[in-house]
Each structure stands twice: as C-alpha cells, then as structure tokens.
Amino acid sequence: MNRNEDLFSRAQQSIPGGVNSPVRAFGSVGGTPRFFSRGAGPRVWDVEDRSYLDYVGSWGPLIVGHAHPEVVRAVQDAAARGLSFGAPTEAEVELAEELLRLLPSLEMVRLVSSGTEATMSAIRLARGHTGRDALIKFEGCYHGHSDSLLVKAGSGMLTFGNPSSSGVPADLARHTLVLDYNDPQQLRDAFARHGEQIACVIIEPVAGNMNLIRPTPEFLQTLRELCTQYGSVLIFDEVMTGFRVGLASAQGLFGITPDLSTFGKVIGGGMPLGAFGGRREIMQKIAPLGPVYQAGTLSGNPLSVAAGLAQLKLIQAPGFYDRLTAATQRLCAGLTTAAQENRVAFCAQSVGGMFGIYFRDRIPGNYAAVMECDKTAFNRFFHAMLEDGHYLAPSAFEAGFVSAAHTEADIDATIAAARKIFAQR
Ligand code: PLP
C-alpha cells in the first residue's frame, strides 16, 4: 500500500467515505484519492511527494495559484492580531466596500462563511421580501446543500420537485420548480402558470456544476424580464463565476443586473468566506434592520477577509484577466487539436479562467446533453493524466480551473500529455 491508499483506508474508519466533501472520494472515476500535503503556484504535491499541475484549484478559489506569498502574508499578519472577535472589524468594511466598488449591482453586501450559507440566506431573504414561497432552479445547477436546493425535477415539466437527498422534507421540496437550462420558452410557460407564487429564480449564470454550460443571451434576457414582470427576485449564484470569468463577474460579462448575487470561492482567497448582496431595498430586510434572520459566529472572519482582500487586489493587476483567459483558451484549443489529430470525440470551451472538457462531438447546452458525454472515456483520460502528473477534477461533470500561476509552458506540458494519451487509445 502506498501512503495515499494507507491514508484513505484509515480515513474511511473515522470519516464517512473517508472525505469531508463527497466528490473528493473519486467515486465517479474510481481509484484512490490523492492526499495533498502542499501546493505552490500551479502545482500540488501528494503525500508520496509526487507533484501534479493542478486544474482544480480547490474547486475554484485559488485564482492566483497555491500559497501566493501575498495572500499567505496577509493571513499570517491577520492571525498574529487575533483569530476571531465575533465583533465588527475594519477589514470587513473594506472588503464590503471593495465588492460594492467592483460590482454595480451590489448596493449592500453581507459576509458569511461559505457559498452554501450565501445561497441559503439569499433565498430566505427573497422569500421574506416577496412574501412568496416558491423558487425556480435549473436542472444540473448546484447551489450548495441547503434543503430547498437539493431538489430534482418533478415528474412532468412545470411541476414542483421532489427531494434529491434523503433528509429533505417533501413539503419543502414541493416549493422548488426545476426547469431546463437554456430553455426560455419553458421559463415563460412556468411564469405564466406559477408567476404570482415565485419568490425567486436562482441560477449559475455560467453553469459549472454539470461540467461547463454557457447561457444563451436570449435565455438570460428572458429570465431578467420575467422576474421584473412578476416581481420575483433574480439571484445570480456567482459563487463559482464571481471574479473567475472576469473582474465584472458573469453579470458584467453578459450585461444582466440581478437583484441579488451570491459569492464564495475567489473572494475568500482559499479561506472559508461567502457573501450575498444586491439591491438596498431587499438587503435592508435582513436582521438587525429587518425581519429576515441571518447570522454567523465566524461571519467576516478576520483571516478569511485578509485572504480575500489580498486576492482581490492581485486580480486587479493590469491585464490579469486577459492573461488568464488566454491561458485557459490555449488549454482548450490545444486539447481539442490533440484530440482531433487522434480522432477522439472530444471538445472543450472556456469562459475566463474556467473551462469544460467533453467527450462528445458537440458542446452541450443543457444537463441532458452533458449526460451524453462518454464517461468511460473521461475516466480513462482522467487516470492517465493523473498518472502523468496532471490533476483534473475527478468527475466528467465538473468544470476545471486555470490560475494566473499556470505558465504557457505548464499549459503546453498538459496538452502534450493529453496528446500522448489520446494517441494511445
Ligand atoms: N454555488 C455554486 C455555484 C457552487 O459551485 C458551490 C460550490 O461548489 C456552492 C454554491 C456552494 O458553495 P460552498 O461549497 O462554499 O458551500
């Protein structure tokens, strides 16, 4: 047994599945998860001291790479001054102001400790604001693990859903309507039928939890118009896309103004941090100003805020997103060419610093199309790349991430490895 196997079997004795978040268990690809001991720039090292070029980046937060010296120093300095106060600090005001300055849709923002807390709180707020219970989400989008969001589509289109996790009351799931991504007509029909009941629509404005799916402009525009028409709150879940697809996030990229937005990942620089914010009129309904309750012992934690502020400063360097976008495009183009040379059914696309790779001929536009990808081909590719020192997300249905620390030479090394693997099929 090597050290990874040894640790995994030990972990399974004390932690369910041996992991603290399910996808880490390699359940979808099989095999033994790597236990990482350190990271630097674009690389991670496992407990056997094997290094990998990392295209997961802790599932998105590490946009400047692992252990960036300025982020680490900011956390160390903050830690030396105290780990938590449970009282307001100057740095959290600075972070809130910075988020408001970068995103015009945010008139007020509240800091929490995870993306799940941000989406859960935004939904409670939308329900409190509208006095309605129903919400719309889209099949394949993930918004964290709060009860209302762990719901799968009902039996017919436009019917309310059923729990997709044991432990979620059916009574709660029946308030969630699950629709197809990129289907504006279905959205119109749903609002025509249920519009007066809909408190909010929550969407990943670029979906990244069913691999990567781009929204069509018509779909997003229809969504904005219907929410305005029916007085429903439009929530952009930018936990993944926020400061990942560009400095203006997905809302800036597509020119759509949501009523509320949620953030996590990049804004915390690799530390536990989330945020939700938006229109002042809605945000003023949160306690202590208003009747919607929301709180957190560690909310606005000084170490998380320090890491977030340091990373938000780094991403504002001139040309940061141009370089990140170009590097991610280089990866997708290189992988696609390598696959074509070897007649592998494969395609890839990116938005800013996030990408999707698909073992099928055409870029998919919704969940059903993603499900047609060749999972067996992905799993073989994943393991061959891992063996060669390239760490991709351990599932055919997750987006990947490039960081500013990935050089052209790193990207080219990954493409060369893929070419070799495609040729061996
Ligand atoms: N929303 C989106 C779009 C996400 O991708 C995630 C996590 O991957 C979440 C919410 C939940 O965030 P967290 O895992 O920090 O609770």
CA of 144 to the centre of ligand 1 (A): 5
d(CA 154, CA 194): 15
Query: Is residue 330 pLDDT above 80, yes or no?
Result: yes
Question: What local confidence, expressed as pLDDT, does residue 425 receive?
Answer: 72
Question: Quick one: tokens of 163?
Answer: 């729990």
- The domain spans of the chain are 3-63+318-423, 69-314
**Three-state DSSP class for residue 120:** helix
**Three-state DSSP class for residue 5:** helix
Query: Is residue 156 pLDDT above 80, yes or no?
Result: no
Closest ligand 1 atom to Cα of 209: 5
In short, whether 277's Cβ falls inside 6 Å of ligand 1 is no
Query: Is residue 214 pLDDT above 70, yes or no?
Result: yes
Question: Which residue's alpha carbon is nearest to atom 14 within ligand 1?
Answer: 115
Question: Quick one: tokens of 281?
Answer: 């009129």
**Three-state DSSP class for residue 136:** strand
Query: Is residue 158 pLDDT above 80, yes or no?
Result: no
Here the ipTM equals 0.99
Question: Quick one: tokens of 161?
Answer: 């859903």
Q: Does domain 3-63+318-423 have CATH number 1.20.1250.40?
A: no
Residue 323 backbone dihedrals phi, psi, to 5 degrees:
-70, -45
Long-range Cβ contact pairs of 188-194 (< 8 A, separation 24 or more) = 188/222, 188/226, 189/157, 189/158, 190/136, 190/158, 191/226, 191/229, 191/230, 191/232, 193/158, 194/134, 194/158
In short, whether 150's Cβ falls inside 6 Å of ligand 1 is no
Q: Do you find a cis peptide bond into 288, omega within 30 degrees of 0?
A: yes
In tens, the pLDDT along 217-230 reads 999 999 999 999 99
Question: Which residue's alpha carbon is nearest to atom 15 within ligand 1?
Answer: 115
Beta carbons of 216 and 180 less than 8 angstroms apart:
no
Query: Is residue 161 pLDDT above 90, yes or no?
Result: no
Question: What local confidence, expressed as pLDDT, does residue 153 receive?
Answer: 79
In short, whether 209's Cβ falls inside 6 Å of ligand 1 is yes
Question: What local confidence, expressed as pLDDT, does residue 280 receive?
Answer: 98
Name the average pLDDT for the chain: 97
In short, whether 127's Cβ falls inside 6 Å of ligand 1 is no
In the CATH hierarchy, which fold is given to the domain comprising 69-314?
Answer: Aspartate Aminotransferase; domain 2 (3.40.640)
DSSP string, 166-215: TTS-HHHHTTEEEE-TT-HHHHHHHHHHHGGGEEEEEE-SSB-SSS-BPP
Q: Which residues are catalytic?
A: 142, 237, 265
d(CA 347, CA 365): 13
Q: Which mutation among 141, 142, 203 tests ligand 1's pocket best, with the greatest number of atoms within 8 A of CB?
A: 142
Closest ligand 1 atom to Cα of 59: 8
Beta carbons of 126 and 276 less than 8 angstroms apart:
no
Indicate if 69-314 has the same CATH topology as 3-63+318-423: no
**Of 319, 318, 298, 330, nearest to 92 (Cα)?**
298
Q: Which mutation among 20, 240, 273, 351 tests ligand 1's pocket best, with the greatest number of atoms within 8 A of CB?
A: 240
Give CA 164 to chain center in angstroms: 20
pLDDT band at 157 (very low <50, low <70, confident <90, very high): low
Question: What local confidence, expressed as pLDDT, does residue 154 receive?
Answer: 76
Question: Which residue's alpha carbon is nearest to atom 5 within ligand 1?
Answer: 240
Question: What local confidence, expressed as pLDDT, does residue 249 receive?
Answer: 98
Closest ligand 1 atom to Cα of 241: 3
In tens, the pLDDT along 41-85 reads 999 999 999 999 999 999 999 999 999 999 999 999 999 999 999
| pLDDT average, residue stretch 24-38 | 96
DSSP string, 294-337: ---TTTT-HHHHHHHHHHHHHTTSTTHHHHHHHHHHHHHHHHHH
CA of 320 to the centre of ligand 1 (A): 24
In short, whether 59's Cβ falls inside 6 Å of ligand 1 is yes
Question: Which residue's alpha carbon is nearest to atom 1 within ligand 1?
Answer: 143
Query: Is residue 155 pLDDT above 80, yes or no?
Result: no
Beta carbons of 233 and 257 less than 8 angstroms apart:
no
